[in-house]
Amino acid sequence: MTIIKAKDILRNYLREKGLRNTRQREVIFDAFFSADKHITVEGLFNFIKRKNPGIGYATVHRNLTLLCQSGLADEIKIGTNKTRYEPKFGREHHDHLICIKCGRFIEVTDGKIERLQDKLAEANEFIPVRHKLEIYGICRDCK
């Protein structure tokens, strides 16, 4: 199972960094991979609090940051809103269509666009490292 492999990756990361595998980390990890994608710190915090009322907001935040550092999660910053996080393990790069009515995120990939982006960068003597493409509009359900 991919989630078990992901847990191994986290455990290895903790070991090689001299970090500890706490009860809270396990809880946050499991919750993150079972909750909705593109979740906020607040969202995950509330999700966890239902079964773990003692959890601290800062702990959730810190461990989402840790998951990003270990390569298991990605930060998504849309506009000026709260930072969102999505599982990354075993998933390819993708971009997002974002519905301005319901807030839904649709994940998309387009190899042609990716290649043209690289050409565009090259034409400007620019070495691309990462990119962000967000298309805002109205989703099928909101038309």
If contact means CB under 5 to 8 A according to the sort of partner, which of Zn ion, DNA, Mn ion, none does residue 83 touch? Answer: DNA
Nearest-approach distance from CB 108 to Zn ion, in angstroms: 15
Question: Which is nearest to 102 in space by CA: 136, 134, 77, 75?
Answer: 136
Interaction mask 89-118, DNA, x per CB under 7 A: ------------------------------
Segment near a second copy (CB under 8 A), from 3-11, 59-67, 77-85, 86-94? 77-85
- Radius of gyration for the chain, computed over Cα atoms and rounded to the nearest angstrom: 17
Q: Is 68 in the site for a second copy (CB under 8 A)?
A: no
Nearest-approach distance from CB 56 to DNA, in angstroms: 3
Q: Is 99 in the site for Zn ion (CB under 5 A)?
A: yes
DSSP state of 72: S
Nearest-approach distance from CB 96 to Zn ion, in angstroms: 13
Phi-psi region for residue 79, left (φ > 0), alpha (ψ -120 to 50) or beta? Answer: left
Q: What is the DSSP string of 3-50?
A: HHHHHHHHHHHHHHHT----HHHHHHHHHHHHS-SSEEHHHHHHHHHT
Name the residue with tokens 């805002």. Answer: 136
- Interacting residues with Zn ion between 104 and 133 (CB under 5 A): 104
Q: Is 26 in the site for a second copy (CB under 8 A)?
A: no
Residue 37, token pair as written in the block = 């994608």
| Contact between residue 27 and residue 48 where contact means Cβ atoms under 8 Å apart | yes
Which positions touch a second copy (CB under 8 A)?
77, 79-80, 83, 97, 99-100, 106, 108, 110, 112-113, 116-117, 120-121, 124-140, 143
